[in-house]
Structure 1
Amino acid sequence: MRRLLMNDLVSWKSSPSRKPLLIRGARQTGKTWLMEAFAKQEFRDYVKIDFMYDESAQSLFEQDLDPQRIIRQMQLRYGRTIDPEQTLIIFDEIQEAPRGLTSLKYFCEQARQYHIVAAGSYMGMSIRREGESFPVGKVDQLTLYPLCFSEYLRALAGDPLADALENAQMDDLAALSDTLERHLKEYFITGGMPEIVSAHQQGASFTETRRLQQQILDSYDADFSKHAPGRILERMRLVWKSLPGQLARENKKFMYGAVRPGARARDFEESLQWLSDYGAIAKVPRVSALRLPLASYKDLSAFKLFCTDVGLLGALADLDPAAVLDGSRLFTEFKGALTEQYVAQELRRKRYQPAYWSSDTGAAETDFCIAFDGKPIPIEVKAGENLRSKSLRVVCDKFGLDKALRTSLSPYRNDGRLTNVPLWAIGQFEKLLGREQHPHL
């Protein structure tokens, strides 16, 4: 399968201001595979150290953090010559070698000619250990998410259809909306975790898909136990298991009382932070106004929580995979939670930090809002067939906005103030809005 982040890796390699690169992401999103594929595509050779598999390799950083000594000992240890231009150095599971993470600072300052890519889980790298520090400002960083829909489509339906989608060829795709909708429904079940997509490629049933997803959920739980303080472990699990129920609420706002009766914010703040650091959840805050910068209008007491992957959310909810065969039911299942989860994923993968807006009375609300092309854009997610909604009109009038976005199962159309983008094309909304605003491009 092909990952879009490969383009960023190729750009990093040729950048004159290149620093050691740190690839972050939740466990099992494909970081190791991507680094090795990058090495094989762009370098003559590579040396990979997996610090979880080979714990003794942590001794490379025991004496000092001199890059030249570390390189010499790596060459002796692995019997390979490391050419600064032709060899990629891979530090995998870097969270298991905290001094190795710190060493990236000195590779940046003293030996930037070497190509170094490191990867590790969010949570392990978020833990601060005495005498060790994160190399702030000394590394380039990228985040690898689960496969987005276009990546999934490329893996399951081939390059021509995926290319057409990524290029937003809406005239060509309009006649294939049934095919794209069918693939999207399957994506809602499988999600984008590479192991699951690979199994689906090879003909695994949806029952087998659920079994594999449960294994991933079990491995996440084991990771929580490994890294999190014991005092908050049970609270983390309560929050994690409450996600489907939280998103099944009408307004999807996170409620502490739904995690445990009588719970208060202070009881769960640390647990939420750990889950966020791990990459298992994503917080989408409420904003009180659609004005830029959106961060200035955050309401710290109100937010929605989403899972890292739509397929894992379905597994957490124990959703029957047979729903994929039942018309459009999957899109509206537990009040459209999977649909909103999917849109949140697509926005975050494109490096947006979505928020949502609601009026003080709760009479009007947008599902998401982002800053795009120097303006706030409200986004409404419609999982059902009823496209009528006064919220977008209310928010546009209230804040003087000339553009709003709705995503639904309806075809693409531009009605001036409102653009409807099919759910299967929401990842291409930038191209579509860009063409509308700059038709000469």
Structure 2
Amino acid sequence: MERKINQFLLKWKTDLIRKPLLIIGTRQVGKTYTALDFGKNNYKYVAYFNTDHNTILKDLFKKERSITRLAEALSIISEVPIVKNDTLIIFDNVTDEEIIKGIKLFGYDKNDYHVIAITSSRDSLLKFRGEEFQYKIMTEMDYEEFLWAIGEKEVAEKIRYAYDNHRSCSVHTKALDYFYEYLITGGLPEVVDAYATKKHYGYLDSIKERVFDINKSELLNSKNLIDIERGIEVMESIPKQLEKENKKFQYGVLGYGRRAKEYENSINYLVTNQLVYRSYKIRVAKSPLSSCRELDSFKLYLPDDGLLSMRYNLTKDRLKVDDDVKQALYENHIAHTLVEAGYSLYYYQSEGKAEVNFVIQNRMGKIIPIELATKQGSKVKSLSVFMKKYIVTDAYRITENNFSTKKNVRYLPIYAIFCLNEQLY
């Protein structure tokens, strides 16, 4: 399947100051498949190593510090010629410190070995810090990639055209209908592939349930039984948290008498490892937004819409009529799409209870409010108050309607959130 990361990989391959590349992301987002497919299509040889509990590799990297001899040994182990510029070397499931030190050797000086390391552990990222690596975070497929996968690239192109040219979308109804399918299916490559080959929803849910269990099992790496149990409680509570009118994370949803201090470590672990995404409350909006956040007030989101819809036992027909669930899914979709585009998440709530669902800041420091509305006329006042108070020149309001612009507010259909990646610059 075509993924957006492929363009990044092509640039990395031809980079004159190329370093070993670390691809990091949660399990089942397609990291290994993408790296292998990239190697198959762009290199003469691919040498793949699963480093999980691989004592041979660990011993090799512990003893050998010569790049030339390492390449020779890796060629023998993999039974694949390791030729400069012609072989892609892939190290998968990288967490061991000795193996990490060995991979670092390929990044100290300019050389012609092309190396990709893959990990799902954010803890491993700390060990990779330094000038010896380049980094790329990989996430689930967004709606645009979903359209590519199901053979509707033309729909994706027309959405982009409408956004870029401030026009209405000529395939709005079709795009919205496919978006409903995406919300239920989600962006996990295995699930999308099953959907594209016309598997029934029961089969898709069985895959999603397995992935949700895999994500929960990632908590085992925290090595603290209490934190593991509490982390699972937090993940399981997110559907209920988002279905509330006030979507702020509330410990009371977890059970009577639950306190923030008891769950702090678990939530931080989940956020650090991208098992959930966190949006902090701000009462004022000034640059940098990170200085305005209230650490004890936040919302949590799941990184995949399909995992959330599964917890609601959602069907397409129910999605169209259940406003509470629809609002939860729409807000979750906006959240993870913005994170995947590179934004940090914040939401605004004033003393007067005016609320803007999302406030982001691009790399130029520009503050941009994003308001979600599913009912005609709702929350327009909050967005207007925010724009007037902070002299904001650009804002977005997300609806189910077609593209339009009113004064300084661009109205985007919910399916077009992926277009906002361009606002980063």
**Shorter-chain TM-score range:** over 0.9
Superposed displacement of residue 275, structure 1: 1.2
**Worse-matched range after superposition: 70-79 or 160-169:** 160-169
- Within the alignment, does 1:48 sit opposite 2:48 as a pair? yes
Superposed displacement of residue 404, structure 1: 1.4
Would the aligned equivalents of 1:192 and 1:309 in 2 still touch at CA under 8 Å?
Answer: yes
Would the aligned equivalents of 2:29 and 2:138 in 1 still touch at CA under 8 Å?
Answer: yes
Structure 1 residues 185 and 294 mapped into 2: Cα distance closer, same or farther (>3 Å)? same
Secondary structure in 2 aligned to 1:196?
helix
Residue 253 of structure 2 corresponds to which residue in structure 1? 258
Aligned letter for 2:121? Y
* Superimposed CA distance per residue, residues 141-198 of structure 1 (whole angstroms, 9 cap, x where no aligned partner): 1111100000001111432222333444678862311111111001111100001001
* Superimposed CA distance per residue, residues 378-408 of structure 1 (whole angstroms, 9 cap, x where no aligned partner): 1001233444521001111111112211111
Superposed displacement of residue 285, structure 1: 1.1
Structure 1 residue runs without a partner (length 5+): 435-441
Would the aligned equivalents of 2:305 and 2:329 in 1 still touch at CA under 8 Å?
Answer: yes
Secondary structure in 2 aligned to 1:113?
coil
**Worse-matched range after superposition: 113-122 or 25-34:** 113-122
Aligned letter for 2:155? L
* Superimposed CA distance per residue, residues 1-33 of structure 1 (whole angstroms, 9 cap, x where no aligned partner): 210011111111122222111001011000001
Normalised by the size of structure 2, how large is the TM-score? 0.92
Residue 121 of structure 2 corresponds to which residue in structure 1? 122
- Equivalent-residue separation in structure 2 for 1:136 and 1:233 (angstroms): 30
Residue 219 of structure 2 corresponds to which residue in structure 1? 224
Would the aligned equivalents of 1:105 and 1:135 in 2 still touch at CA under 8 Å?
Answer: no
Residue 437 of structure 1 corresponds to which residue in structure 2? none
- Within the alignment, does 1:272 sit opposite 2:267 as a pair? yes
- Within the alignment, does 1:415 sit opposite 2:415 as a pair? no
- Equivalent-residue separation in structure 2 for 1:107 and 1:433 (angstroms): 32
Secondary structure in 2 aligned to 1:247?
helix
- Within the alignment, does 1:14 sit opposite 2:14 as a pair? yes
Residue 145 of structure 1 corresponds to which residue in structure 2? 139
Residue 232 of structure 2 corresponds to which residue in structure 1? 237
- Within the alignment, does 1:329 sit opposite 2:328 as a pair? no
Residue 104 of structure 2 corresponds to which residue in structure 1? 105
**Worse-matched range after superposition: 255-264 or 289-298:** 255-264
Secondary structure in 1 aligned to 2:124?
helix
* Superimposed CA distance per residue, residues 25-59 of structure 1 (whole angstroms, 9 cap, x where no aligned partner): 01100000110111122212111101238554333
Would the aligned equivalents of 1:6 and 1:38 in 2 still touch at CA under 8 Å?
Answer: yes
Residue 384 of structure 1 corresponds to which residue in structure 2? 375
Would the aligned equivalents of 2:91 and 2:118 in 1 still touch at CA under 8 Å?
Answer: yes
Secondary structure in 2 aligned to 1:390?
helix
Count of paired positions? 423
- Equivalent-residue separation in structure 2 for 1:30 and 1:55 (angstroms): 25
Residue 365 of structure 1 corresponds to which residue in structure 2? 355
Aligned-residue sequence identity (percent) comes to 27
Secondary structure in 2 aligned to 1:261?
coil
Superposed displacement of residue 326, structure 1: 4.2
Please show how residues 23-422 of structure 1 align to structure 2 within 5 Å.
Answer: 23-52=23-52, 56-95=56-95, 97-110=96-109, 112-123=111-122, 125=124, 133-168=127-162, 174-315=169-310, 317=311, 319-322=312-315, 324-326=316-318, 328-329=320-321, 332-334=323-325, 336-361=327-352, 363-372=353-362, 374-387=365-378, 389-422=380-413
- Equivalent-residue separation in structure 1 for 2:53 and 2:162 (angstroms): 43
Normalised by the size of structure 1, how large is the TM-score? 0.89
- Equivalent-residue separation in structure 1 for 2:379 and 2:268 (angstroms): 37
Aligned letter for 2:373? K
Residue 4 of structure 2 corresponds to which residue in structure 1? 4
User: What is the alpha-carbon root mean square deviation over aligned residues?
Assistant: 2.3
Would the aligned equivalents of 2:395 and 2:410 in 1 still touch at CA under 8 Å?
Answer: yes
Structure 1 residues 276 and 326 mapped into 2: Cα distance closer, same or farther (>3 Å)? closer
- Equivalent-residue separation in structure 2 for 1:428 and 1:374 (angstroms): 19
Structure 2 residue runs without a partner (length 5+): none
Aligned letter for 1:156? I
Secondary structure in 2 aligned to 1:16?
coil
Structure 1 residues 265 and 245 mapped into 2: Cα distance closer, same or farther (>3 Å)? same
Structure 1 residues 432 and 105 mapped into 2: Cα distance closer, same or farther (>3 Å)? closer
Aligned letter for 2:320? S
Would the aligned equivalents of 1:213 and 1:312 in 2 still touch at CA under 8 Å?
Answer: yes
